[in-house]
Amino acid sequence: MPQAARLAGIELGGTKAIAVLSDGEQIISSHTVPTGAPGETLGALNEHLRRWHDQQPLAGIGIASFGPVALAPAHADFGHILDTTKPGWRGAGVVPLLMQGIDCPFRIDTDVNAAALAEYRRGAAQGCDSVCYITIGTGIGGGLLVGGQPVHGALHPELGHLKLRRVEGDTFAGACSFHGDCIEGLASGPALAARFGMPGEAIPGDHPGWANVAADLGQLAAAVLVAISADKIVFGGSVSLQRPYLLPLVREEAVRSVGGYLPHVNAETIRDLIVFAALGNQAGPMGAIELALMASLSGDPAQEG
């Protein structure tokens, strides 16, 4: 592929969506659309894609979507949102609406798998084999890469809905409509507002309740270290990036939870194992472009299953 091949990406998040245009891997244009009703949101993004495609044919399009989303092309609901907690989006046709009127290779994956891919290729996880990207924002998602490839299976990783050991004495019931006190129900943006009784941005940094939140997230990090032997866990998303004092507490809890069982996890090494996203809030858009690059190299109109 020529260095300056024209690529486009969509990061579809629970609060906002971003359309980006790039020459090669250099982003040259970006547009943000609030995530409202599916038809309105996806229609506006499709207009940007079609305009760019008309100006110069796109070599590939990458779609980084919040989930759960059907990723296997053979699936009857391929490219559609599945049973989500986001009102109005169950069954939304992300691929059909975004790709309407556009004939070029594309690839869809979860927003967190895409962000993990960006951090692996250009950010904090370069040179690693097993990578987990955890985002904390409207929800909690976990993207996984093994050998540089996003992990899929019957669906895709849904780490935010793990139910792990609670802090003794913590009586918060959780805010997930499916599972109550899963990790998303304990530490996502809406869960924090419910837990603290105030909007997330208003919660003071010295509030004692942050200790329980950090412990919950440390349990998640420890589970990832044990389950996939991650070389790197990268934390991103608005809550992580706006509350940098959380990460040292998360590391401490992860080490306590591992309990000396993993010889490579201790108070010194954990600082390199669990890190902030080097790409910040650009991990998602850059990940969408990485997906577009993969689509352009495959030449297939849809990703492989």
What are the pLDDT digits (tens) for 158-209? Answer: 999 999 999 999 999 999 999 999 999 999 999 999 999 999 889 999 999 9
Instruction: Give CA separation, 37 vs 16, 32, 106, in Å.
Output: 11, 15, 23
| C-alpha to C-alpha distance for 135 and 55, rounded to whole angstroms | 34
- The separation between the first and the last C-alpha atoms of the chain, rounded to the nearest angstrom, is 23
Tens digits of per-residue pLDDT, 51-107? Answer: 999 999 999 999 999 989 999 998 899 999 998 878 899 999 999 999 999 999 999
What topology is assigned to 124-278 in CATH?
Nucleotidyltransferase; domain 5 (3.30.420)
- Of how many residues is the chain composed? 305
pLDDT band at residue 1, thresholds of 50, 70 and 90? very low
User: Dihedrals φ, ψ of 16, to 5°?
Assistant: -145, 160
Q: What is the pLDDT of residue 200?
A: 87
According to DSSP, the β-strands at 232-236 and 130-136 are parallel
Say if residue 32's pLDDT is above 90.
yes
For residue 125, the Cα-to-chain-centroid distance in whole angstroms is 15
Q: Does the global pTM surpass 0.75?
A: yes
Say if residue 149's pLDDT is above 90.
yes
Q: Where does CATH 3.30.420.40 sit in the chain?
A: 6-111+284-298, 124-278
Q: What is the pLDDT of residue 298?
A: 85
Its CATH class, for the domain covering 6-111+284-298, is: alpha beta
**Mean pLDDT over all residues of the chain?**
93
Q: What is the pLDDT of residue 110?
A: 96
| H or E element, residue 102 | none
Say if residue 3's pLDDT is above 70.
no
